[in-house]
Amino acid sequence: MKISKTHQNFAVILYDQRALSHPDEFLGPNWKDVLNFWFFIDTLSPEQFEIAWGRYRNLDPAYCDSAWLLAENAASKTIDVFNVPGAFSATQYHVFGYATCEVIGSHNLLENGNSLVFTDLIISPEWT
What pLDDT score does 82 carry? 84
d(CA 63, CA 7): 28
Q: How many domains does the chain have?
A: 1
pLDDT digits (tens), the chain, 128 positions: 789 999 999 999 999 999 999 999 999 999 999 999 999 999 999 998 889 889 999 999 999 999 999 999 999 999 998 889 999 999 988 899 999 999 999 999 999 999 999 999 888 766 65
Pick the closest to residue 9 from 121, 97, 127, 118 (CA basis).
97
- pTM for this predicted structure: 0.93
The residue segments making up the domain with residue 61 are 5-127
